[in-house]
Chains A and B, each alone.
Chain A
Amino acid sequence: MNVLTLARAQFALTVMVHYLYPVLTMGLGVVLVAVASLRLRRPDEVYDRMARFWTHIFGVVFAGGVATGVVMEFEFGTNWASYSRFVGDIFGAPLAAEALIAFFLESSFLSILVFGEKRVSRRMHWFATLMVASGATLSAFWIVAANSWQQTPAGFQLLHGRAELTDFWAAVLNPSTPLRFLHAVLGSWVTAAVFVCSISAYYLLRGRHQEFARRSLRLALVFGLVALAAEVVVGDAHTRQVARTQPEKFAAIEVLHHTQTGAPLAVVGQPLPEVLLPKLLSFMTYFDFNARVTGLDAFAPEDRPPVTATAMTFHAMLWLGLGLGVVLALGAFLWWRGRLFVSRRYLRVLCYCLPIPFVVNEVGWVTAEIGRQPWSVYHLLRTQDAFSRTVPAAHVAISLAMFAVVYVGLLGLSVHLVRKKVLQGPGGDAEEVPS
């Protein structure tokens, strides 16, 4: 295997494992703020246990995010030196801003959140919770802004063989930043909501920690429904934005080979027998049944992204995401009928939903990144020209093997620690009697 393939494999591995952590903590931070606020307004022992339990889990997951996150900050230089030289003038600033504005905030206040309940006032503890959640979201903003610049570069000029900044805010708030940021944040909210829902459902099924589980489930269900409803709107807008800003990615997503007016929507696509709904793609993209949609044939073969991977991951994200929407809506319906906490079948479904949002977020990012190929920076720098030329393939193979081993161990450990805490329960409750 050549250096490029190995470097891409390593980046994919390290970033995909890394994202499993922040995608949960970002949303869980919001849950913690909600619990902390409720607790501040109506102090009560169940809210105390909710705050402590979810904070404990947050701490375990956050540590994994820190451990895997350091790698990302260094990897552009180690494996993508040519890329770093080319984009450093623009891409480095959001990374530095992320560290300076978000990481310091998160890590400083996290210590107060996790260890400091007895050392600071209740209000201060609430404030620390808010700062940790804000830090996580700010961090997402800067890194998504950096990624979005790779997708839809703006605010720069090509000078001295590199991209040089001409307008800071145009580069940061490039055409795809706002929607991609909202899309990613809402995706993480759904993830945390489903996570809290399924652990609460587990306790309800086991007849443990009833009051704790009921309150957590109600809170997370509302949170998840709001986030998912917003996500449907944002996701749709984001896809239409991709059609305008990266038409070849959009064509790959929808497997549209030929540019045409009144383009049909492929509801079921290859390799299954195709089911086409006439003119629907044009309408969904431009609100006009006869709009012209750019197909893959508008681009030279060497400029097209891999179609199968892009389309399949996109549709996996879409259908799994909508499936989660159905599950959450069903929960709301059962709640209205007063059967949310007693329908064992529904609670069991919730339990099994736990890994799904992680998969949805990951495949969504795969769509975004594979769909950007063959470009590292859209229409400016090809991925094949972006890697470190001086690093021998053997060295990348060694580091890839190292990450593979370490990350398997790390994931196993994280799952073990979260599972252990879940089995242990929020603790200290008098209502441990099965109902």
Chain B
Amino acid sequence: MMLDLIWFVLVAVLVAGYAVLDGFDLGVGFLHLVLPRSEEERRLCLASVAPVWDGNEVWLLTAGGALFAAFPPVYATVFSGFYLALMLVLLGLIVRAVSIEARNRGASPAWRRFFDRSFAVGSTLVAVLLGVAVGNLMRGLPLDAQGEYAGTFWALLNPFSLFIGATTVAMFAMQGACWLAMKTEGNLGKRAVTVALFAWATFVALYLDATLWAPSDAHWLFLRARQSFVSWIPAAFMFVCVTGLPILLRRGRLRLAFLCSSVTIACVVAILAIAACPIFVLCTNDVKSSLTAFSAASSPRTLTAMLVITLVALPFVLGYTVFVYRVWRGKVRSEPDEY
């Protein structure tokens, strides 16, 4: 029982890590079309994420692998249930990986313009659809007797989930803008601050709206969030960070601002995870058939083996992740010295 809950928490931690880290490079993905005023500025924006984006994406891979290993029925139901949506997420991930790598390797402006646009489109697709997926999990899904998704693709594109998709885009735009504000300087840096403030306002408005919407569309989750004491802890942290963010941005405390934005995103994931715990997928047609951390868990032996691997590997992973970010700390000035 304890192991099941530990793995529920670990999956949530991986998702939060992904949202915080890939959040800023997805954000840069859609902001780099509007923010920079010149080729030089655009190169700076992209250079700020070039060394770290694929490490950030590994968080998603690890979350997927951990879900597969620890809760196979959840992995199977959600991934096959969201089939077309996930295929589009994969398309987005492929397109943005290719775009950022290929962009600077071509000389012609048309080549660069093409990959700039595809990088933005890919990033937006990923952010929107991951948000839509979360929105559907917040609502719950109809499941058949075997625990498989019993709805259609179009049912996934309901207004509430699309709204969560939009909120996710705003959240990642805020994160991306705070990242750029921290990593760039001069006019570009000033514009990044302005955009960060705008994205912050949009995110706050959408988030509040989604919270007002939740009692009707995500009734169960809303009730559980309100009743659960624990979920008030991240809510309090989030409140402090969200209120502090615009002040820090205006005062030029940009590293703290980025930290606040990151904590905000982690808290959003935490609030949802705490409220849902131990439910992964609420079965809307029969609550008892919901996929939970208890009903969907792998055997204790597997969970223990994986926990040992995680505890051994995690200090190293965190160690060299911090090391790499330290190597790239400070403002980006020119292109990195790529071969």
Contacts and interface: CB of A to CB of B under 8 A. Distances in A.
A70 B90 contact: yes
Interface in A60-86: 60, 63-64, 66-71, 73-74, 76-79, 81-82, 84-85
Interface stretch (B65-73, B155-163, B195-203, B219-227): B65-73
B51 interface: yes
Contact of A73 (B64, B83, B313, B314): B64
B87 A399 contact: yes
Interface stretch (B228-236, B263-271, B300-308): B300-308
Nearest to A51: B339
Interface residues of B, number: 69
Contact of B77 (A81, A119, A399, A406): A81
B256 interface: no
A87 B81 CA distance: 19
Interface stretch (B173-181, B182-190, B241-249, B321-329): B321-329
Interface string B74-105: 01111111011011001101110110011001
B72 A104 contact: no
Q: Is the interface of A mostly helix, strand, loop or mixed?
A: helix
B76 A88 contact: yes
B79 A74 contact: yes
Contact of A95 (B60, B65, B79, B338): B65
A227 B217 CA distance: 60
B50 interface: yes
Contacts, number: 236
Pick from A79, A84, A104 the residue with the most CB of B within 10 Å: A104
A100 B305 CA distance: 14
Interface stretch (A178-186, A248-256, A361-369, A384-392): A384-392
A318 interface: no
A52 interface: yes
Contacts of A93: 69, 302, 305-306, 309
Contacts of B95: 406
A110 B53 CA distance: 11
A303 interface: no
Contacts of B305: 93, 165, 168
A96 B62 contact: yes
A114 B62 contact: no
A327 interface: no
B83 A395 contact: yes
A104 B68 CA distance: 18
Nearest to B58: A103
B75 A77 contact: yes
A52 B79 contact: no
Contact of A96 (B60, B69, B301): B69
Given A77-B80, A399-B83, A112 B65 contact: no
B51 A78 contact: no
Contact of B62 (A52, A103, A395): A103
Contact of B299 (A84, A89, A119, A413): A89
B205 interface: no
A55 interface: yes
B61 A92 contact: no
Given A71-B94, A103-B62, A108-B320, A164 B76 contact: no
B41 interface: no
Contact of B327 (A116, A395, A398): A116
A107 B90 contact: no
B68 A95 contact: yes
B33 to A, nearest CB: 21
A182 B338 CA distance: 33
B339 A59 contact: yes
A98 interface: yes
Interface of A: 52-53, 55-56, 59-60, 63-64, 66-71, 73-74, 76-79, 81-82, 84-85, 87-93, 95-101, 103-105, 107-112, 114-120, 131, 159, 162, 164-166, 168, 388-391, 395-396, 398-399, 402, 406, 410, 413, 417, 420
Interface of B: 50-52, 54-55, 57-58, 60-62, 64-73, 75-81, 83-84, 86-87, 90-91, 93-95, 97-98, 101-102, 105, 144, 146, 148-150, 153, 298-299, 301-302, 305-306, 309-310, 313-314, 316-317, 320-321, 323-324, 327-328, 336-339
9 tightest A-B contacts by CB? A88-B72, A77-B79, A92-B69, A96-B65, A111-B51, A92-B68, A81-B76, A63-B101, A388-B80
Given A66-B54, A95-B69, 19 more contacts: A52-B339, A63-B98, A66-B97, A67-B97, A71-B90, A81-B77, A82-B76, A88-B298, A93-B305, A96-B70, A99-B64, A107-B55, A114-B51, A118-B337, A119-B328, A166-B301, A389-B148, A390-B148, A399-B83
